[in-house]
């Protein structure tokens, strides 16, 4: 596989290295943890399965406690944090290296008292699950494979003890009398099932290639997750160990384990679990399949030939999932805690699907959004089985038109335009006549406004105690820039399609021109920037925010070149950081430079100064457009270094502190963060 070379990281041995890693399977399931192998988040686990893909994510296999015995010495390779403040065992002290590619790989090594060297190499792989079989004959499964390879001069014994749970990935498990686990022994596997008070849990299997499994069963009480402590959330958990696996290994031999669960329609309700029968698993075969899949997706792209570029492309694929309820692809907004969001999907689509030439994926994503268009709005949250979509977004529908335009420019797929133009008209009509949340055009200036209270409908959507932190009611600048671009797209497409209605294109152009003129109301001549919002009370919001940059980065821009240059210069001076744009000028009295503390404190800082890495893309595109003869005023190296060395190795964080040193915060892997960096590198 090209691009498989990766940087070798040497985790700290004086304290646990809490940098993270992530694997996904195309269904929303994930496997994640830290370099030191201690869990620091509620969300960490070797198998967190999306039982109703891509949602219903449930922790099943939390971790494996591993002990190596050789020459009479007992060497514990694991590391855990405990609520007592103790860190034990201290496996991180003998952890020598970590590499991400082609799969996360750890090397523990040392020397016995007799002078014999030993090493254990662990590799973890989460195979891509593929799509549901049409006839349901092949079960849809989420799986994770863990391989241990031993090197040394003497025979060794490896003991592996699984720690398990069954709970939402948002919550913690506590031992209680009414919760117990059953295990059904079969050749080279055990089927495990939780039995909480409400109903039996989902059965899943743990398999192994060699060794003897001994059932015992006891609880590990009071593990602590330090990142949850920092976030002001519940931070302790009890995990159950059903037994342990023991195997003798000669130098050069390996042990492979697999945790597997059926998901979606394949889920079983009893111990007669429907699972593939190819046990024991073959790690190399699965790795080769995954390498071939990724090479098939990205092998033709020049970026794939570079290690850092390959890491970014592989990161882009982690967000692409199959949603069972819509029977179509979707985009997870971010890991570890986000689901698939309409706004995030549409912002991320150009980088994840168009730059990577995954045009069929882009088309299906646009079709799915259009299928759920209602009253001129595109869902912000797609429906779970038996539920309705949520339409709490003022921009998703306009972003859909913008993204459709980018898709058409890339593919010239005019047949698709013909099939989707009705949705374009439905969206424009919805905004013109008015739709939910008071979204409508102002008949005086043709600008879009909205006026619902206690909600936040733009991407700055934080709400604390029922109050929007950045309400932006009235006429937000980027929404009206999107409105102008949507009308321009509609005029162009009408001219192409409307043989029987030749005046439709003229009407769209006339309205677009009215909006272009009205956009001048956003010009703040005093500072050379765009007002962030024209408030309902008539007082414009002069806060310096990145939404002005978003308004300049659209395909059709309604602002003059001199204005755009002044906006970008001020944004560079006030908002640009090495890792993205601040959400608010640090000179503002409302600015918060550190994102931390409990939920309320974090939400208050979310859009009041925190740096958003995805905004580097719109800034870079706008700069290239309006300063074509000047070098791009963005250094991408800090984000590329972050990709390969910081936070979640192999992905881009959602946000960073607004103040130096710009510490990574929020979700450790964010779709639009990865997408926008790809766009800057590839467009």
Residue at a domain's end among 266, 290, 319: 266
Same domain assignment for residues 237 and 377 = no
Report whether the peptide linkage leading into residue 431 is cis, meaning its omega lies within 30 degrees of zero: no
Same-domain check for residues 163 and 33: yes
One domain, residues 64 and 138: yes
- CATH assignment at residue 194: 2.70.98
Cβ burial of 467 (10 Å; 0-12, 13-18, 19+) is: exposed
- For residue 593, count other CB atoms closer than 10 A to its CB: 17
In a domain, 357, yes or no: yes
Tallying the residues shown for the chain, one arrives at 683
Domain membership flag for residue 354: yes
Residue 644: inside a domain, yes or no?
no
Q: Do both 228 and 315 map to the same domain?
A: no
Q: Is residue 164 part of a domain?
A: yes
Asked, for residue 590, whether it belongs to a domain, the answer is no
Residue-number span of the structural domain to which 317 is assigned: 300-436
With residue 167 as reference, give the H or E element that holds it: strand 156-168
Collapsed DSSP state (helix, strand, coil) of residue 362: helix
Residue 314, domain member (yes or no): yes
Chosen domain end from 384, 405, 436: 436
Contacts of 72 (CB under 8 A, 6+ apart): none
Residues 215 and 68 in one domain: yes
The verdict on residue 479 lying in a domain is no
Please tell me whether residues 55 and 188 are part of one structural domain.
Answer: yes
pLDDT beneath 50: ranges in the chain: 1-4, 269-271
Q: Which of 415, 436, 457 is the last residue of a domain?
A: 436
Q: Would residue 285 count as lying in a domain?
A: no
| CA–CA separation, 23 and 163 (whole Å) | 19
Assess whether 28 and 139 both reside in one domain. Answer: yes
Do residues 94 and 139 share a domain? yes
Among 606, 593, 586, 343, residue whose Cα is nearest residue 470: 606
Residues 184 and 52 in one domain: yes
- Would you say 400 and 369 are in contact if contact means Cβ atoms under 8 Å apart? yes
Q: How far apart are CA 549 and CA 567, in angstroms?
A: 7
Domain tally for the chain?
2
Question: What is the 3-state composition of the chain as percent helix, strand, coil, each rounded to the nearest 5?
Answer: 30, 30, 40
C-alpha to C-alpha distance for 313 and 356, rounded to whole angstroms = 8
Q: What are the pLDDT digits (tens) for 626-663?
A: 999 988 878 999 999 999 999 999 999 999 999 999 99
Angle at 47 between CA 42 and CA 51, to 5 degrees: 95
124 and 175 belong to one structural domain:
yes
Q: What is the pLDDT of residues 187-233, one digit of tens each?
A: 899 999 999 877 889 999 999 999 999 999 999 999 999 999 999 99
pLDDT value at residue 273: 54
232 and 100 in a common domain: yes
Structure tokens at 322: 């199959």
pTM of the model as a whole: 0.95
Handedness of CA 669, 671, 673, 675 (dihedral sign): positive
Name the β-bridge partners of 541. 533
d(CA 46, CA 224): 17
Q: What are the helix (H) ranges across 299-358?
A: 307-317, 342-349
Regarding whether 200 and 60 lie in a shared domain, the answer is: yes
Residue pointed to by tokens 């195997």: 247
């Amino acid at each position: 596989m090209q691009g498989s070379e990766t940087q070798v990281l040497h985790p700290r041995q004086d304290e646990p290295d809490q940098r993270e890693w992530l694997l996904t399977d195309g269904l929303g399931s994930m496997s994640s943890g830290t370099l030191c192998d201690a869990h620091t988040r509620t969300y960490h686990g070797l198998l967190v399965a999306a039982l109703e893909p891509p949602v219903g994510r449930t922790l099943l296999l939390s971790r494996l406690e591993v002990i190596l015995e050789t020459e009479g010495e007992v060497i514990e390779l694991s590391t855990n944090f405990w609520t007592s403040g103790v860190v034990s065992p201290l496996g991180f002290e003998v952890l020598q290296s970590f590499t991400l590619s082609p799969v996360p790989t750890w090397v523990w090594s040392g020397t016995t008292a007799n002078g014999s060297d030993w090493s254990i190499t662990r590799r973890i792989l989460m195979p891509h699950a593929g799509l549901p079989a049409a006839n349901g004959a092949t079960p849809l499964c989420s799986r994770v494979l863990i391989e241990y390879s031993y090197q040394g001069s003497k025979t060794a014994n490896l003991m592996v003890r699984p720690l398990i749970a069954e709970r939402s990935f948002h919550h913690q498990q506590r031992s209680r009398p009414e919760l117990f686990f059953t295990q059904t022994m079969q050749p080279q596997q055990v089927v495990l099932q939780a039995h909480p008070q409400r109903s039996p849990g989902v059965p899943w299997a743990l398999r192994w290639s060699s060794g003897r499994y001994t059932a015992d069963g006891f609880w590990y009480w009071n593990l602590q997750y330090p990142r949850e402590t920092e976030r002001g959330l519940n931070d302790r958990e009890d995990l159950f160990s059903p037994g342990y696996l023991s195997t003798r290994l000669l130098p050069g031999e390996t042990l492979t384990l697999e945790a597997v669960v059926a998901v979606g329609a394949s889920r079983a309700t009893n111990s007669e679990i429907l699972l593939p029968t190819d046990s024991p698993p073959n790690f190399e075969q699965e790795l080769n399949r995954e390498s071939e899949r990724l090479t098939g997706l990205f092998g033709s792209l020049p970026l794939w030939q570079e290690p850092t570029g390959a890491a970014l492309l592989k990161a882009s694929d982690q967000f692409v999932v199959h949603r069972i309820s819509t029977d179509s692809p979707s985009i997870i907004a971010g890991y570890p805690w986000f689901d698939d969001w309409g706004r995030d999907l549409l912002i991320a689509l150009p980088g994840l699907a168009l730059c990577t030439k995954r045009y069929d994926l882009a088309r299906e994503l646009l079709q799915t959004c259009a299928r759920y268009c209602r009253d001129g709005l595109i869902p912000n949250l797609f429906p779970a089985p038996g539920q309705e979509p949520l339409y709490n977004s003022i921009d998703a529908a306009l972003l859909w038109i913008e993204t459709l335009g980018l898709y058409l420019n890339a593919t010239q797929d005019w047949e698709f335009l013909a099939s989707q133009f009705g949705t374009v008209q439905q969206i424009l009509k919805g905004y013109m006549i008015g739709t939910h949340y008071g979204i409508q055009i102002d008949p005086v200036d043709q600008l879009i406004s909205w006026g619902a209270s206690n909600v936040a409908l733009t991407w700055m959507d934080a709400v604390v105690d029922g109050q929007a932190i950045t309400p932006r009611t009235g006429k937000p600048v980027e929404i009206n820039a999107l409105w102008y671009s949507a009308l321009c797209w509609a005029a162009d497409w009408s001219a192409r399609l409307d043989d029987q209605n030749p005046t439709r294109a003229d009407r769209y152009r006339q309205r677009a021109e009215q909006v272009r003129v009205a956009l001048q109301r956003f010009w703040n001549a005093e500072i050379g920037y765009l007002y962030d919002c024209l408030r309902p009370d008539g007082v414009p919001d002069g806060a310096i925010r990145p939404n002005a940059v978003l308004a300049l980065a659209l395909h059709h821009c309604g602002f003059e070149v001199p204005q755009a240059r002044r906006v970008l210069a001020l944004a560079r001076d006030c908002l640009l950081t090495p890792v993205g744009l601040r959400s608010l000028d640090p000179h503002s009295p409302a600015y918060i430079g550190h994102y931390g503390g409990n939920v309320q404190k974090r939400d208050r800082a979310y859009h009041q100064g925190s740096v958003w890495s995805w905004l580097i893309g719109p800034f870079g595109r706008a700069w290239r457009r309006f300063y074509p003869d000047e070098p791009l005023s963005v250094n991408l190296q800090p984000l590329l270094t972050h990709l390969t060395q910081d936070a979640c190795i192999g992905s881009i964080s959602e946000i960073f502190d607004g103040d130096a040193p710009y510490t990574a915060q929020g979700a450790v892997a964010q779709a639009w963060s990865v997408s926008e960096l790809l766009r800057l590198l590839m467009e």
